[in-house]
Every structure is written in structure tokens, then in C-alpha cells.
Amino acid sequence: MKDLDPLVFYVVFSEMLGPLLWVLALLAVGGLIAFAAVLRCDGGLVSKRLVRSELIGILGGFAALALMAWVTLSGFSDAGGPVDWLLIGVIWGIGLVGTTILAYTAQGLWDRYHGKACARAD
């Protein structure tokens, strides 16, 4: 940990997650592309759908924390200092943003799949 090399980070994550690293990367890229497509189709964000996605996103944040606790064999009283709370915030934030985008995109694609025309963003 003396020298922090981005390539080392990649190698370590690759060793940690195996093929799942690429699945997650594809999910992230695919999700963003689909999100962009839904946005383009709708001409912007649809408020009602966004609010619903944000509510799901909040749960996603907690799900990310639960997953992290499970993977690291941790409990809910282990945070010991500011950097721990920062890490918890970052993990929760990643879960929130990721889940919100995916939920928004899924709803958009669901609507298209069921033959609804692109919504008009207000």
C-alpha cells in the first residue's frame, strides 16, 4: 500500500470479484446507455417516475450497506471514526444513485415494452 497504482486496484478488484467485475461493469455501462436512451426518448426526466425511482433508490442504498456488511463480516456498530462514516455514506450513496438510475431506466423500458409512447417530460 506504499504506492497506489490504478493498475494494482484493477488487479485487486479482478482478483476479488472474478468475472463478476465484468458483469458489474457491463451492468453499469448498459444501465447508463439504456438510461440515456430513455431520457432521449422522453426528452428529459419524467418527475413522477423519478420520485418513484428515488424512493426505490433509498432502499437500494441500504441494500448496498447490507451487502457490504455481509461481505465484510461486519455488524451495524462497527463504525469507529469519521472515515468510517464517510465510507458508509459513500457506499449508501453509490447504492442510492445506482438503484435510482436502474429503477428509472427499468420503468422507462417497461413502458416502451408495453407499447406506451415516449412520455413528454414536463
Partner 1 sequence: MSKSPVQPVLDRRTLLRLAGAAALGGVPLAAKASGPGPVATKARIVIAGGGAAGLAVAARLSRLVTGATITVVDRRKEHFYQPGFTLVAAGLKPAGYVVSSTAEYIPAGVTLVEERVAEFDPEGNKVVTESGQALPYDFLVVATGLQLDYAAIEGMDTALIGRDGIGSVYAGPEAAEATWREMSRFADTGGVGLFLRPNTEMKCAGAPLKYTFITDDYLRRRGNRAKAELVYAANNKSLFSVPIVSEKVRMLFQDRGVKVAYDHVMTAIDPGRKVATFKTPDGPAEIKYDFVNVIPPMRAPEAVRNSPLGWRQGPWAADGWMEVDKATLRHMRYPNVFGVGDVAGVPKGKTAASVKWQVPVAVDHLVASLAGQTATSVYNGYTSCPLITRLGRAMLVEFDYQNNLTPSFPGVIAPLEELWITWVMKTMALKPTYIAMLRGQA
With a CB cutoff of 8 Å and minimum separation 6, the contacts of 111 are 119
Distance CA 109, CA 112 (A): 5
User: Is position 51 an interface residue for partner 1 (rule: CB under 8 A)?
Assistant: no
Q: Of 44, 33, 31, which Cα lies nearest the Cα of 97? A: 31
Q: How far is the CB of 94 from partner 1 (least distance, A)?
A: 14
| CB-CB contact of 64 with 95 (8 Å) | yes
The one segment of 11-19, 28-36, 39-47, 98-106 that binds partner 1 by CB under 8 A: 11-19
| CB-CB contact of 66 with 73 (8 Å) | no
The one segment of 24-32, 43-51, 81-89, 106-114 that binds partner 1 by CB under 8 A: 81-89
* Interface pick for partner 1 out of 39, 68, 97, 121 (rule CB under 8 A): 68
The one segment of 10-18, 48-56, 57-65, 113-121 that binds partner 1 by CB under 8 A: 10-18
* Interface pick for partner 1 out of 24, 27, 28, 87 (rule CB under 8 A): 87
User: Is position 1 an interface residue for partner 1 (rule: CB under 8 A)?
Assistant: yes
Distance CA 32, CA 79 (A): 32
Distance CA 103, CA 13 (A): 26
Residue ranges that bind partner 1, judged by CB under 8 A: 1-2, 4, 8, 11-16, 68, 71-75, 77-81, 83-84, 87
